Amino acid sequence: MDKVEPVERRRGPSMDRRSERAHRAVLEAAAALFEDVGYARLTIDAVAARARVSKATVYRWWPNKAAVLMEAFLVAIERDVAFPDSGSVRTDLVEQAASLAQVLGERRLGMMVVALLGEAQNDDDLAQAFRGGWQEPRRAAGREVLHRAVERGQLRADLDLELVLDGVYGPVYLRLLYRHLPLDRSEIEKLVDQILDGIIAPNHPQGDLPSGAKSRT
Amino acid sequence: MDKVEPVERRRGPSMDRRSERAHRAVLEAAAALFEDVGYARLTIDAVAARARVSKATVYRWWPNKAAVLMEAFLVAIERDVAFPDSGSVRTDLVEQAASLAQVLGERRLGMMVVALLGEAQNDDDLAQAFRGGWQEPRRAAGREVLHRAVERGQLRADLDLELVLDGVYGPVYLRLLYRHLPLDRSEIEKLVDQILDGIIAPNHPQGDLPSGAKSRT
Amino acid sequence: MDKVEPVERRRGPSMDRRSERAHRAVLEAAAALFEDVGYARLTIDAVAARARVSKATVYRWWPNKAAVLMEAFLVAIERDVAFPDSGSVRTDLVEQAASLAQVLGERRLGMMVVALLGEAQNDDDLAQAFRGGWQEPRRAAGREVLHRAVERGQLRADLDLELVLDGVYGPVYLRLLYRHLPLDRSEIEKLVDQILDGIIAPNHPQGDLPSGAKSRT
Amino acid sequence: MDKVEPVERRRGPSMDRRSERAHRAVLEAAAALFEDVGYARLTIDAVAARARVSKATVYRWWPNKAAVLMEAFLVAIERDVAFPDSGSVRTDLVEQAASLAQVLGERRLGMMVVALLGEAQNDDDLAQAFRGGWQEPRRAAGREVLHRAVERGQLRADLDLELVLDGVYGPVYLRLLYRHLPLDRSEIEKLVDQILDGIIAPNHPQGDLPSGAKSRT
DNA sequence: TGTTAATCGAGACGGTACGTCCAGTCTTGAC
DNA sequence: GTCAAGACTGGACGTACCGTCTCGATTAACA
């Protein structure tokens, strides 16, 4: 991901002239304030004040606080995308799940994701920016890892890769957003093992095994 | 679950008698308005007006709109908890995942979950009510299913059941809250199969199999 | 004038319940601030702050700052209307002109009149309130004085009383609003004499005397 | 009045060349917009936009919108000054009052006078420009007329000419700015007659006639 | 004729106030 | 004695202008 190009930014011949300083200051202020007070109590007034920028300037470049926060989030995480290729699916998946867990596990970023997810339910522009800037690049990386593993014969050929991706990322999200239990490195390894190997007891006659599984014993 | 007893509800001597109509009307109004305008634009004023109740009455029984919505959510879903016991893990897990998908897939309820999840990040009372009224009962049912399967020898004995629960519920949440892809019955079945059986190719020499898996070949 | 009934005040069954304290405080604050900073720099924010009232309360009862100021003005001057009846037109007119001069000559009130006059050019509600609350009562008093004088035979019977009123009040306004020259009591007396007696030289053959005047020599 | 030389105009070496088009365009735009929206809603932004001139250019030549409007007003009326000398005071005064009434009676110009009068209350530069560019030339013309009439013996020698000027102009202002009654040519003639001849009934014993008047019967 | 400094348009900037909306508290009058 | 009705303070909203400030682009007078 070379450059975040937020959907809500108006483009024009003279856009470049706009104050880079103001732009950065707003994003930093938004991130800092978000950490202090959370999304609901975050106000554009406060962001503008902390960034020593006028409110009008904020509204000139972003349509609402969700958009500001989205860009702040994307800036904060954009360097973290990883396309590992160790030759081992297991290692690569652990790597990716851990990278995701690192972002979501950081209090500030995790809360941002929930907040943005909430807003995106009612804001298509936001949803699109979220998907394009955050979700899809990560899934693309995961898809790549899985694809290579299938080609190497490490994974079954008949997999629905999207479903596998959900199988890996879903539990990470769930743990870190509900925060019902911690998710450290060793848990992530257990999770990946579980996904790779399945959970059924070996050598046990299962009355209802699916075709793929049946052939395995 | 006989009765939802929301933590945030203040109790008083005459509460049960006088407020019954008002109480119900508020929850109905909140649910209806939420559907129309979403969480952010839902106002206590509007709820009170629609319920033909004074704002003071709303504040007498709930501390804020998140609490109102939480109770409305819990009322709306409480009949849906399922403790299936078909004798087959696969069937039971599909049943439970489908039950969850049904709730989250219903536009109104799914949005409520995200909204409440967002609010709960900064509101411990809310988080507790959410866990106690929604999340934990469902996990308990799932845990029960898994426990029985382990006892029957259908699942491996060394499993971390919490991690398995996350493995089942996580993907369902992910799909339905990000809405990147649909999740119908057949997808749910594929998901459960995938979890049960794992995804590694059979008979393929995996250089990095975990200990548990290694012993299986 | 028993009661000022500002046009912009919404009437309803529960209007009387509104906080008398807030109402008074707003008018006082508006008058005080007007004196300090003038009309253009008078802000509703400042009025609300000084009155220790929320901005919403101001806007609940008045549509804009001109309306607030109008009511403040009417409250400030309403006790000053005079219906003198000394038996002498001259005395009565001097009395009334002096009363007007006293209001307009007071820096704060004079400036209010100009400001309100300016706003009233583009605001019919305001113009009507201004006429009804300020201008017309005073003209009515003047009309009464003139009418009695005509009946007593002190003034010519063929006068256009409205024009006479303009002849008396006009110069007072002009002096006090342009402030080109002062207007003290003795000037007012000279003015009234001038109006009563005219300015033509006695016994001088005027080639163009009007009919009424001609018969006078 | 050869040339309007507004106090607020900054002069520079090459001003006359470059700015001519812009200068005129601004004044025209200001006048046109004033007519449309009135003083309060007239904005420099709008003036600049309509004149196809940058805001900076407006501020380069005028300190504020009042100054722009003042110059627009002076440009609009400067050709209207009249120094009539018909030999008859009555005719000359009617002429001058009518000339004033023509300006004030034109909706746009009348509103400008009120607006400028209002602003001038708190802006000495403006007040001075108003007096020098509008008020005083007209009064000078009136003073001249009165002076000649006194010299010819048509008016009493003991008059306070300033008070007489106020007596003529004041009513015209009052009528046209309050707009309580129209003021056409015949009304103006009646007004001048009234001022010249006075309003007291001839041959009526006035108990309180002033000295000048007493000697007249 | 080509250089250069003044002036221009465009419009972003930090501010201030606008007028609206809602949160959450409090008062009143009717039932 | 409760409740609806709704006024209240407080404070954020998003908008509109203010007056200042870069920017290039244009231009007119001088080199």
Q: What are the tens digits of pLDDT across the range D47-98?
A: 999 999 999 999 988 999 999 999 999 999 866 676 778 989 999 999 999 9
Reference D142, options D198, D110, D194, D99; nearest CA is D99
Structure tokens given for A85: 């290729």
User: How many pairs of residues across A and B have Cβ atoms under 8 Å apart?
Assistant: 206
Kindly provide the b/e burial profile for residues A7-27, where b requires at least 16 CB atoms within 10 angstroms of the residue's own CB: bbbeeeeeeeeeeeebbebbb
What is the maximal distance between C-alpha atoms in chain D?
A: 71
Kindly provide the b/e burial profile for residues B102-122, where b requires at least 16 CB atoms within 10 angstroms of the residue's own CB: ebbbeeebbbbbbbbbbbbbb
**Does residue A114 surpass a pLDDT of 80?**
yes
C-alpha span between A132 and A114 (Å, rounded) = 16
Model pLDDT, residue D177 = 84
Q: Which residues of B touch A101 (CB under 8 A)?
A: none
CA C197 to chain centre: 25
Selecting from A38, A111, A204 the residue whose C-beta is nearest the C-beta of B153 gives: A204
**Residue D208 or B33, more confident:** B33
Cβ-defined contact of C191 to D166 (cutoff 8 Å): yes
CA B89 → CA A149, B143, B189, distances in Å?
29, 11, 12
Model pLDDT, residue D202 = 79
State percent of chain B over pLDDT 90. 61
Model pLDDT, residue B205 = 62
Model pLDDT, residue C152 = 94
Q: Hey, what amino acid is at D3?
A: K
* Residue D200, beta-bridge partner list: C155
E-strand spans in A20-100?
none
Q: Which residues of A touch B213 (CB under 8 A)?
A: 193, 196-197
Nearest CA in chain C to D197: C198
Q: How confident is the prediction for chain B on average, in pLDDT?
A: 84
Model confidence band, residue D195 (pLDDT cutoffs 50, 70, 90): very high
Model pLDDT, residue D83 = 78
Reference C203, options D201, D158, D196, D153; nearest CA is D153
pLDDT tens series, chain C, 217 aa: 333 334 333 333 334 445 788 899 999 999 999 999 999 999 999 999 999 999 999 999 999 999 999 999 999 986 667 677 898 999 999 999 999 999 999 989 999 999 999 889 888 999 999 999 999 999 999 999 999 999 999 999 999 999 999 999 999 999 988 889 999 999 999 999 999 999 998 766 665 444 444 433 3
CA B80 to chain centre: 10
Contacting A residues, span 1-30, partner chain B, CB-CB under 8 Å: none
Cβ-defined contact of B171 to A166 (cutoff 8 Å): yes
Model pLDDT, residue A203 = 67
Structure tokens given for C214: 């001609």
3-state DSSP of D172-212: HHHHHHHCCCCCCHHHHHHHHHHHHHCCECCCCCCCCCCHH
Q: Decide: D154 and C204 in contact? Cβ < 8 Å.
A: yes
Q: How many residues does chain D have?
A: 217
C-alpha span between D97 and A190 (Å, rounded) = 100
CA D101 → CA A92, A123, C16, D109, D165, distances in Å?
91, 60, 46, 11, 14
**Does residue B20 surpass a pLDDT of 60?**
yes
The model's pLDDT over D14-41, given as tens digits with 9 standing for 90+, comes to 444 456 788 899 999 999 999 999 999 9
Nearest CA in chain A to B121: A111
Model pLDDT, residue B206 = 60
DSSP characters over D148-169:
HHHHTTSB-TT--HHHHHHHHH
Q: Provide Rg for chain B, Cα atoms.
A: 21
CA D205 → CA A123, B148, C217, D69, D202, distances in Å?
88, 124, 15, 53, 9
Which positions 21-80 on chain C have a beta carbon less than 7 angstroms from any atom of strand F?
A: 22-23, 52-57, 60-61
Model pLDDT, residue B14 = 41
Which positions 20-49 on chain A have a beta carbon less than 7 angstroms from any atom of strand E?
A: 22-23
Per DSSP, the three-state class of A200 is: strand
Instruction: Assess A35–B contact: CB distance below 8 Å, yes or no.
Output: no
C-alpha span between C79 and C1 (Å, rounded) = 9
Query: Whole-angstrom distance between the N-terminal and C-terminal Cα of chain B?
Result: 44
The 8-class DSSP code of residue B200 comes to B
C-alpha span between D68 and D63 (Å, rounded) = 8
Reference C93, options C199, C13, C190; nearest CA is C190
3-state DSSP of B143-177: HHHHHHHHHCCCECCCCCHHHHHHHHHHHHHHHHH
Spell out the long-range contacts of C42-45 with Cβ–Cβ below 8 A and sequence spacing 24 or more. C42/C69, C44/C68
**Residue A22 or A160, more confident:** A160
**Residue D83 or D192, more confident:** D192
Q: Which residues of A touch B197 (CB under 8 A)?
A: 198, 200, 209-210, 212-213, 216
Q: How confident is the prediction for chain D on average, in pLDDT?
A: 85
CA C73 → CA C66, C70, C116, C133, C183, distances in Å?
10, 5, 9, 9, 22
Cβ-defined contact of A118 to B195 (cutoff 8 Å): no
Model confidence band, residue B4 (pLDDT cutoffs 50, 70, 90): very low
Which positions 37-96 on chain B have a beta carbon less than 7 angstroms from any atom of strand F?
A: 52-57, 60
> Worst-scoring range by mean pLDDT, B197-211, C63-77, D14-28, D137-151?
B197-211
- Min distance B17 CA to chain A CA atoms (Å): 35
C-alpha span between D19 and D205 (Å, rounded) = 68
Cβ-defined contact of C202 to D216 (cutoff 8 Å): yes
**Does residue A98 surpass a pLDDT of 60?**
yes
The model's pLDDT over B41-97, given as tens digits with 9 standing for 90+, comes to 999 999 999 999 999 999 999 999 999 999 999 998 866 676 778 989 999 999 999
Model pLDDT, residue A29 = 97
Contacting A residues, span 130-149, partner chain B, CB-CB under 8 Å: 131, 135
3-state DSSP of A93-144: HHHHHHHHHHHHHCHHHHHHHHHHHHHHCCCHHHHHHHHHHHHHHHHHHHHH
Which positions 18-77 on chain B have a beta carbon less than 7 angstroms from any atom of strand E?
A: 41-45, 54-56, 59, 64-65
Neighbours of C10 (CB within 10 A): 8
CA C164 → CA B173, C49, C146, C161, D101, distances in Å?
86, 45, 9, 5, 17
Which residue intervals of D78-158 are DSSP H helices?
89-105, 107-120, 124-130, 136-151
Q: Is A160 exposed, middle or buried (0-12, 13-18, 19+ CB in 10 A)?
A: middle
C-alpha span between D196 and D206 (Å, rounded) = 19
C-alpha span between D199 and A44 (Å, rounded) = 68
Model confidence band, residue D206 (pLDDT cutoffs 50, 70, 90): low
Q: Decide: D57 and D48 in contact? Cβ < 8 Å.
A: yes
Kindly provide the b/e burial profile for residues C34-56, where b requires at least 16 CB atoms within 10 angstroms of the residue's own CB: beeebbeebebebbbebbebeee
Model pLDDT, residue A20 = 83
Model pLDDT, residue D121 = 84
The model's pLDDT over B152-168, given as tens digits with 9 standing for 90+, comes to 999 999 999 999 999 99
Q: Which residues of B touch A169 (CB under 8 A)?
A: 170, 174
Q: Compute the CA torsion angle D147, D151, D152, D156 (nearest 10 deg).
A: 80
